[in-house]
Amino acid sequence: MFSQASASLTNDIRLRDVTEGDLPIFFEHQCDPDANQMAAFPPRDRDAFMAHWAKISSDESATNRTILCDGHVAGNVVSWERDGKRFVGYWIGKNYWGRGVATRALSLFLPVVKARPLYAYVAKRNVGSIRVLEKCGFTICREETESLEPPADGVEEVVFRLGPNEGAEAR
């Protein structure tokens, strides 16, 4: 599944706007059982998936990008706003894991989404995603993590933050 040895491979990673034609590829990526297990996120069926992307594509507060690896669609990185907070998320197709794609893609995305603080929710067991966030400068946000409801599904989450705490500049 994941090869440490391949993490040092260098590929040409770019971001571009999401096109209609990318969605079936994203759909396949999010159907992968290993990815679902890793992200602690169940797959959506095709209709629900397309409806979700229709919604986030028309959300003016959202910023969504397709990740290209050597010109091929390797995944997506997205940002949205909820309850006055800005979040980031990403999903890489399994064929592209372990090549530094997520780290490079998130690094390229951070200057695009300039709002700070920027939050990411991640399953505690998702060590790969936690490492991606840490490599991009995110740190664990203890106050947000402690305020999470106990997980009904048993999957514990942690919250990471990039940038100063809300209101910190005003104090």
Q: Binding ligand COA by CB under 6 A: which of 97, 109, 119, 138? A: 97
- Establish if 102 lies at the interface with ligand COA (CB under 6 A): yes
- Establish if 79 lies at the interface with ligand COA (CB under 6 A): no
- Establish if 122 lies at the interface with ligand COA (CB under 6 A): yes
CB of residue 44 to ligand COA, shortest distance in Å? 13
Of residues 89 and 163, the one with the C-beta less far from ligand COA = 89
Of residues 1 and 152, the one with the C-beta less far from ligand COA = 1
Q: Sketch the per residue contact string, 5 through 44, with ligand COA: x for CB under 6 A, - otherwise.
A: --x---------------------------x--xx-----
Output the six-digit token pair for 169. 């500049």
List residues near ligand COA by CB under 6 A. 2, 4, 7, 35, 38-39, 89-92, 97-103, 122, 126-129, 131-132, 135
